[in-house]
Amino acid sequence: MEKTRIFIPKKLWPEYTSFAAMNPSMTNLFPFPELNSERLPFLIAGPCSVETPEQLHATVAQLVNKGIQLIRGGVWKPRTRPNGFEGVGTLALPWIKEVKREFPVRFAVEVASASHVEEALKAGIDVLWIGARSTVNPFTVQEIAESLRGIDIPVLIKNPVNPDLGLWLGAFERLESVGLNRLGAIHRGFSNYRDKIHRNSPMWQIPIEFRTIRPEIPMINDPSHISGRRDLVPSIAQKALDLNFDGLMIESHVRPDAAWTDAAQQLTPEVLGELIGKLKTRKIHFEAPETLHQLEEIRQQIDEADREMLEAFARRMHLVEKIGEYKKLNNVAAFQRERWQEVFESRPEWGKKLGLNPEAVEEIFRIIHQESIRKQTEILDQ
Ligand SMILES: O=C(O)C(=O)C[C@]1(C(=O)O)C=C[C@@H](O)C=C1
């Protein structure tokens, strides 16, 4: 039987380009070459878990109407605590085949072992993803990689649960070493202790660093797992587009409140459709010549301001070294708690008066103090 043609809605986001889209090899790397850069940001949506044939059918039917072409659905679910619902398992695979026969969609599932890969491939699953709890474990990633040797299938790799950029990059290297090259990254946030807002802290700096190292790899944001609550999904999705992410993976269920997993963070396809309509995409570059000229001028002023900041930092370090010499002469410890407390408390206040974010100032001074201590202990131990 001939494969159903993929339904491509008319330029959902015509203006959008992203870093990866700028790269000519992007279309090969992205899940489907036929979905070219015009179609970015790439949307993946679907239920957290495949639960029943009816739930899957109803959800997919509605998502197709919203222009979704790649459905996600968890079949094997890694859960934090035992005795919860751990996914329907292989039983769900024929249901997926059935919805794929009926609707013009492709399907992505999470795999966490060689046997999952084998089952998924047998069932004709189109895209695999490696979850955060697997990315964290090089043995698991290697096992999955080995099971995919010689197979051409797109694989998306979620960030590891802990904020370790090396582990995330390493997972890509393991898959690349067995010949896979249609790879994408999913930013789903990082485990935390008492982040009162997010289920998984976004730590945007990490996907940003990832993209400076591997700009050709598409980066997809998962606002559902970052937020853990549906009311926050729109703002996180928008932030990802403000940062030129290449796509979004959003959890959607026909009856979110009755969902067997992650009920609080799933959106109905209806609400998802409204969200897609509201999201603003950004251009990657300035285009108008006069704006470019102004930008150049402002950037020169920024260069100057940065130079002045570095000169001030060098002056400060020179004074710190001087104190370091006195500390050595008098055999006094480098760390001076009371003085440091005074500095640490006053600078954010000074910054605030200058219109700066006190938390950012605090962070800067934390680093400055670290450097003072490093320098002074070096002097003390000379
Ligand atoms: O005041 C000092 O004793 C310093 O060495 C300076 C300084 C700083 O960087 O401001 C460095 C280390 C101390 O813990 C406290 C303050």
Residue % of the chain over a pLDDT of 90: 75
Res. 356: pLDDT tops 60: yes
More confident: 193 or 24: 193
- Same domain, residue pair 170 and 304: no
Cβ count near 294 (within 10 Å): 12
Question: In this structure, are 32 and 132 located in the same domain?
Answer: yes
The number of domains in the chain is: 2
CB 73 within 8 A of CB 46: yes
Between 35-49, 202-216, 257-271, 294-308, the lowest mean confidence (pLDDT) is in 35-49
- Residue 308 Cα to ligand 1 midpoint, Å, equals 22
Which amino acid residue places its CA nearest to atom 16 of ligand 1? Answer: 340
Query: Is residue 17 pLDDT above 70, yes or no?
Result: no
CATH of the domain at 67: 3.20.20.70
User: Are 124 and 144 contacting, i.e. CB atoms less than 8 angstroms apart?
Assistant: no
For residue 182, how far is its CA from the centre of ligand 1 (angstroms)? 51
- For residue 1, tell me if it sits in a domain: no
If you average pLDDT over residues 330-336, what whole number do you get? Answer: 98
Could you tell me if 249 and 300 lie in one domain?
Answer: no
Quick one: average pLDDT of 15-30?
45
State residue 30's pLDDT score: 47
Poorest-pLDDT segment among 32-41, 136-145, 171-180: 32-41
Question: Measured between alpha carbons, how far is 356 from 350 in angstroms, rounded to an integer?
Answer: 9
What pLDDT shows up at residue 282?
80
The set of protein residues with a Cβ atom below 6 angstroms from ligand 1 is: 320, 323, 335-336, 339-340, 343, 369, 372-373, 376
Task: Compute the average pLDDT of residues 274-278.
Answer: 89
As a whole number, mean pLDDT of residues 259-283 equals 92
Same domain flag for 124 and 223: yes
- Could you tell which of 339, 347, 362 is best to mutate to test the pocket of ligand 1, judged by most ligand atoms within 8 Å of the CB? 339
ipTM above 0.85, yes or no: yes
Identify the CA nearest to 262 among candidates 274, 270, 271, 252.
252
The CATH number covering residue 326 comes to: 1.20.59.10
Residue 141: partners with Cβ closer than 8 Å, 6 or more residues away: 130, 134, 135, 170, 171, 174, 175
Nearest-CA residue for atom 6 of ligand 1:
320
Per-residue model confidence (pLDDT) at position 28: 39
Same domain membership, residue 252 and residue 316: no
Whether 89 is covered by a domain: the verdict is yes
CA of residue 332 to ligand 1 center, whole Å: 12
- Whether the pLDDT of residue 192 is over 60: the answer is yes
Taking CA atoms, 28 is separated from 55, 125, 128, 177, 287, in Å, by: 33, 19, 16, 17, 27
Phi, psi of 51 (to 5 degrees): -110, -55
pTM across the whole model: 0.85
pLDDT digits (tens, 9 = 90+) for 150-159: 998 889 999 9
* 288 CB burial (10 A radius; 0-12, 13-18, 19+): exposed
Same domain, 230 and 334: no
- Assess if residue 193 is contained within a domain: yes
Closest protein CA for atom 15 of ligand 1: 340
- Nearest ligand 1 atom to alpha carbon 337: 14
- Is residue 116 located within the same domain as residue 248? yes
- pLDDT for 19 beyond 70: no
Residue 11 counted as domain residue: no
Does 235 lie in the same domain as 90?
Answer: yes
Cα-Cα-Cα-Cα torsion 118, 43, 79, 77, nearest 10 degrees, comes to -30
Q: Which of 34-43, 84-93, 161-170 has the lowest mean pLDDT?
A: 34-43
- Lowest-pLDDT range, 29-43, 68-82, 212-226, 252-266? 29-43
Query: What pLDDT score does 373 carry?
Result: 98
| pLDDT tens-digit series, residues 99-143 | 999 998 889 999 999 999 999 999 999 999 999 999 999 999 999
25 located within any domain: yes
Q: CA-to-CA distance for 113 and 137, rounded, in angstroms? A: 11
Token pair for 291: 């704006």
Query: For residue 369, which atom of ligand 1 is closest to its CA?
Result: 9
The residue written with tokens 């002074």 in the block is 376
Unique residue bearing structure tokens 């794929």: 100
Position 283 in a domain: no
Measure 203 CA to ligand 1 centroid, in angstroms: 29
Q: What is the mean pLDDT of the chain?
A: 89
Which pLDDT score is estimated for 40? 57
Last residue within a domain, chosen from 278, 298, 333: 278
Domain end residue (candidates: 256, 278, 300): 278
Do the domain assignments include residue 5? no
Distance CA(202)–CA(235), nearest Å, equals 12
Q: How many CA atoms lie within 13 A of 74 on its CB side?
A: 22
Give the residue, 233 or 36, on which the prediction is more confident: 233
- Residue 15 in this model has a pLDDT that exceeds 60: no
Tell me whether residue 9 is in a domain: no
Please give the number of the atom of ligand 1 that sits closest to the Cα of 343. Answer: 10
Q: How far is the CA of 381 from the centre of ligand 1 (A)?
A: 17
Give distance in angstroms: CA of 336 to centre of ligand 1. Answer: 6
The H or E element spanning position 251 is strand 247-251
Share of residues in the chain with pLDDT > 70 (%): 90
Question: Is pLDDT above 60 for 7?
Answer: no
In a shared domain, residues 103 and 242:
yes
In this structure, the answer to whether residues 168 and 308 fall within a common structural domain is no
Of 278, 309, 332, the domain-final residue: 278
Provide the pLDDT confidence category of residue 194 given band limits of 50, 70 and 90.
confident
pLDDT given at position 13: 43
Higher pLDDT, 82 or 254: 254
200 and 314 inside one domain: no
pLDDT of residue 89: 95
Residue-range definition of the domain harbouring residue 60: 19-278
Same domain for 112 and 206 = yes
What is the CA(127)–ligand 1 centre distance, in A? 54
Which range among 55-59, 65-69, 290-294 shows the weakest confidence by mean pLDDT? 65-69
Check residue 215 and give its pLDDT.
86
Q: In sequence order, which ranges of the chain are alpha helices (DSSP H)?
A: 19-22, 26-29, 53-65, 93-102, 114-122, 132-135, 138-147, 165-177, 205-213, 223-227, 233-242, 269-278, 289-330, 337-353, 358-380
